[in-house]
Amino acid sequence: MTTGLIPGEQPPDPRPTDGLPAQARQQPVGPGALHADDRSRSSVITARAAASFEPVGRSVATARAFVRDTLQGWGFADIVDDAVVLTSELVTNAVVHAGTSADVLCLRSDEGARIEVSDRYPEREIPLQGTAVNMGSPDREGGRGLQLCAALAGRWGVEYTPTHKNVWFQLHLPERPVGTRTAGPSLPAHLLPLADGRVRVAVIQIDRIGAITAWNEDAEELFGYAADQVTGKPLTDLAAWPHTPGTSTGIVEALQLSRWEGSYGLRGADGRVTPVYASHLRVRDTGGEPSTVCLLVRDHERAVLQTPLRGPASDAGTSDTQSMDPFEVFIGSPAPDDLDGLLQRTVERARDMLDGDSAFLLLATDDETELEVRASTGLPSARQRFARVPVEAGPGRYGSARMPAVHEDLAAVPGAVPLLNATGMRSVVTVPLKVEGRLTGSLGVAAESPGRYSNEEALRLQFAADRIALAVESARLGELERLRRGSLSFLVEASDLLAGTLDRDQTLALMAQMTVPTLATWCAVYTIADQASEPYLSYVLHEDEELIDGIKSLLSKVPPPDPVPTPGARVWTAPGEVAHQAALRSSMRSLGLSGGPIHQIASGIAPTLATASAVGGETVVLPLVARNRVIGMLTLGKPTDEHFRQEILELAEDLSRRAALALDNARLYSERTAISQSLQRSLLPPELPHIEGVEVEVIYRAAGEGNEVGGDFYDLFPISDGAYGFAIGDVCGTGPNAAAVTGLARHALRLLAREGLSGPAVLERLNSAILDEGARSRFLTLLYGEMRPQADGSAELKVVCAGHPLPLRLRQDGTVEAAAEPQPLLGVMEDLELYEQTVTLDPGDVLLCVTDGVTERREGTRMLGDDGLTDVLTTCTGLTAGAVAARIMRAVERFASDAPSDDMAILAMRVPGLQVD
């Protein structure tokens, strides 16, 4: 639907000027109807509103609402009903019968309003001038729209073009005495509405984006905020809207309507919600900037603002009254198209019908054992919403919601209607809502004085309940279907998120973030390490981040809930009780009732009150059960006086099962990862020894996620008498199997070398040990050597290279040469003939040892190779051992963009020479 409003504009003449003969432009329709050209042009058009509606059935209701809101915004309440009826018929003809879109134009003048409805039916017959038009019989299904125009409109007519048909009607405002709008009869003083000694009317102005721009003194008195505290803040921060967000008209939408009346709550500075009755009027300033003026009174003083219901016209025909739908008579037209709107309208009409002080409506759960409060008026709705009461509250017919009941004085039967405890209500009448004999809800009206209701009022209320029961059940089933679809989408998304991580802390954060604010206002997750451990508060989240620390501090002072494995949510009252006690103590200290200067504790009062308000509502605990063990608890909470609805608890229970399994999987993964990392770290030397006169640097990278050690290994260890052994090797393959051979090789080298064996003897015995592994053995390339620093600053090395990439020697002049000759690898043959070679590193020389993961680094068909490594090493003249190793690793990483597929180890040793003073 598209709409537009242009105040003060004179509309263009919609009649065509060419393309049709004159008779097609001046078609009279029906007796007494005027030609289109006979419309008065003397009235000045002061406002114009237009809307377009798609050719679907729901557009009829939307068009009715558009016309109603427009005319009420213009102050034309007296002609709203007639205009809505005519618009409904004409739009139905367009979007349902003609199957085209409909354009609705509303024009305001000093005489009244003119409304035009156009459709685009291209094959409609164009009548000729003077042809008698048959209006048809009132009993026919078609043609009623024009008959209604003839009966209700002051003027009306039809225009045709080749592509459009336009039906218009004019409604005149009734003449009324000066100063009279609506009036009620004189009433005795005891029947007048109750109000405080001084009725305060809060005047709040809201700008285009919903922020508060004006806040009068009565608003300060009612809600406790000074004007400078709320100016610039969105009204939604204070409003406690009676509807579930996302399922019906909310405060944001209501502020955009031209006029709106209804009940909601405003949260005061003390954290409590004050039920108010509001009247919203959309206005604009001289610059054209729109804003909304809100008048608010306490809900029990609504008579100050509430527009009286329009009674039936005195000259209305009996046949019209009999033909009206009883549901429309009670609810009004148009009926709300959402469940919360329908329920709220129902309780308001029921209260007005029986002249009560409050009304409430409860819906039955699927098993018909409990009733859930879904709408109320005249009661603290925030406290009552979603509260649950049993269907069978006691013995006898008056204890069951399945039968009508009248309580003349609740003071004589305390607790007879638990919903009204401590509300000041004395008399109440309740009736069931039934569909095909099945209980679907309960409707009640209450008054503050006793003896107000009798069986006659019960019959009237039951008649109304019978009229709306089917509509309520239909809307409830529609809402349940939407909730189930939304729940399935929510659970699918939650499962994907939980399955996407094996990190315990991230899983805890996801659990909380998925519940707040979708399911609850705040959330706390307790974890249990083992059956002997107490629950531990692991994570806390609130939709307002400033309250998280306060809630965490409060929960830390409360004993954790018992880890009961029983499925389902159970109520936990401890946080709310402790919060209220803390708030009470803070309030008493602020008044100086506990001793000590007030100013010392005043700064801590607001956080305590805010925390108490945040956790003061209903709190439930759901066990986190995985693999038949309680591993934690998921705690969900609401702010003061709010309750969870049953559908939300069922969804939270489904989420808790998925979250428990994800949390347990993360725990198992963390434990196994810790064990794996501990074992892997044991395969590498804990630290490198300091060698006087030799710089040593090692860089090690294991391939594969989560691996700290693979098939490559290195070692540097003292042997005896200033001699050091060093080794760098590569076991065939990667991963745990290769790491097992790595551990064997490294520990065997140390043991054999310290026995005083030569290099070839050490490797020959290692070869035998590898072959003894049988099927688990893997061949191994190994570079092993012994190093002895010399007194002249050089270092003597004895090296054996068993199938390993040759070590490279970098001299001070930049030349690079191999420092050993290749010999057979280990783990293949039993008899090996190995020999060692002696190499002397002069001061400034570098010995570089690498594994084949470095030389076999690939990018497509290119490979770094021995030549590439040599080229890089020639650029390292004068660098320390650490700088040489780092430059080699950077060159390897830059050679290819893909992640390395093989383990890599780099061992660089440099002889810096003697330091001369």
The per-residue b/e assignment along 455-468, b for 16 or more CB within 10 angstroms, e otherwise, is eebbebbbebbbbb
Question: Per the omega criterion (within 30 degrees of 0), is the bond before 334 cis?
Answer: yes
How are beta strands 724-731 and 780-789 bridged, if at all? Answer: antiparallel
Compute the average pLDDT of residues 219-228: 93
Does position 218 have pLDDT exceeding 90, yes or no?
yes
* Confidence at 3, pLDDT banded by 50, 70, 90: very low
Does position 130 have pLDDT exceeding 80, yes or no?
no
Please report the pLDDT score of residue 198 as a whole number.
Answer: 86
Contacts of 28 (CB under 8 A, 6+ apart): 34, 35, 133, 157
Compute the average pLDDT of residues 321-330: 51
Please report the pLDDT score of residue 34 as a whole number.
Answer: 37
Does position 78 have pLDDT exceeding 50, yes or no?
yes
Tell me the sheet residues that pair with 833. Answer: none
d(CA 601, CA 12): 69
pLDDT tens for 6-29 read 344 444 444 434 433 333 333 333
User: Lowest-pLDDT range, 163-172, 192-201, 353-362?
Assistant: 192-201
H or E element at residue 574: helix 574-590
Does position 664 have pLDDT exceeding 90, yes or no?
no
Tell me the sheet residues that pair with 105. Answer: 50, 116
Name which residue leads in pLDDT, 505 or 57. Answer: 505
Does position 591 have pLDDT exceeding 70, yes or no?
no
d(CA 244, CA 382): 12
Please report the pLDDT score of residue 829 as a whole number.
Answer: 87
H or E element at residue 914: none
Phi/psi at 913 (5° precision): 95, 175
Tell me the sheet residues that pair with 267. Answer: 273
Please report the pLDDT score of residue 20 as a whole number.
Answer: 37
Instruction: Identify the residue whose tokens are 């329709």.
Output: 29
Contacts of 846 (CB under 8 A, 6+ apart): 809, 810, 873, 876, 879, 881, 884, 908, 909, 910
pLDDT tens for 845-884 read 999 999 988 998 888 888 989 899 999 999 999 899 999 9
* Confidence at 317, pLDDT banded by 50, 70, 90: very low
Q: What angle do CA 335, 341, 343 make, to 5 degrees?
A: 95
Give the three-class secondary structure for 551.
helix
- Say what the alpha-carbon torsion angle 60, 63, 67, 69 is, to the nearest 10 degrees: 110
**Residue 309, burial from CB neighbour count under 10 angstroms (0-12, 13-18, 19+):** exposed
Does position 691 have pLDDT exceeding 60, yes or no?
yes
Please report the pLDDT score of residue 21 as a whole number.
Answer: 36
Inter-residue contact 711 to 730 (CB < 8 Å):
yes
Compute the average pLDDT of residues 149-157: 83
Please report the pLDDT score of residue 354 as a whole number.
Answer: 86
Does position 910 have pLDDT exceeding 90, yes or no?
yes
CA 148 distance to own-chain centroid: 48
pLDDT tens for 609-618 read 677 777 777 8
Does position 728 have pLDDT exceeding 90, yes or no?
yes
Instruction: DSSP for 746-809, please give it.
Output: HHHHHHHHTTT--HHHHHHHHHHHHHTTGGG---EEEEEEEEEE-TTS-EEEEEEEESSPPPEE
The per-residue b/e assignment along 365-396, b for 16 or more CB within 10 angstroms, e otherwise, is eeeeebbbbbbbbbbbbbbbbbbeeebebeee
Please report the pLDDT score of residue 726 as a whole number.
Answer: 94
Mean pLDDT, all residues of the chain: 79
What letter does residue 399 receive in the DSSP assignment? G
Give the three-class secondary structure for 278.
strand
* Confidence at 628, pLDDT banded by 50, 70, 90: confident
In the chain, what is the straight-line distance between the N-terminal and C-terminal CA atoms, in Å?
92
User: Lowest-pLDDT range, 109-118, 334-343, 560-569, 606-615?
Assistant: 606-615
pLDDT tens for 740-752 read 777 788 888 989 9
* Confidence at 898, pLDDT banded by 50, 70, 90: confident
Please report the pLDDT score of residue 346 as a whole number.
Answer: 87
pTM: 0.45
Give the three-class secondary structure for 433.
strand
Does position 430 have pLDDT exceeding 60, yes or no?
yes
Does position 87 have pLDDT exceeding 60, yes or no?
yes
DSSP H helices in 641-698? 646-681
* Confidence at 309, pLDDT banded by 50, 70, 90: low
Distances (CA, A) of 107 to 8, 76, 152, 258: 10, 12, 17, 15
* Confidence at 185, pLDDT banded by 50, 70, 90: low
* Confidence at 777, pLDDT banded by 50, 70, 90: low
Compute the average pLDDT of residues 717-735: 85
Nearest Cα to Cα of residue 98 among 119, 127, 115: 119
User: Lowest-pLDDT range, 137-151, 314-328, 871-885?
Assistant: 314-328
Contacts of 387 (CB under 8 A, 6+ apart): 372, 373, 419, 643
Percent of the chain with pLDDT over 90: 19
Please report the pLDDT score of residue 28 as a whole number.
Answer: 38
Inter-residue contact 552 to 558 (CB < 8 Å):
no
Please report the pLDDT score of residue 680 as a whole number.
Answer: 67
Question: Per the omega criterion (within 30 degrees of 0), is the bond before 395 cis?
Answer: no
User: Lowest-pLDDT range, 127-131, 313-317, 799-803?
Assistant: 313-317
CA 306 distance to own-chain centroid: 35
pLDDT tens for 253-263 read 778 777 788 88
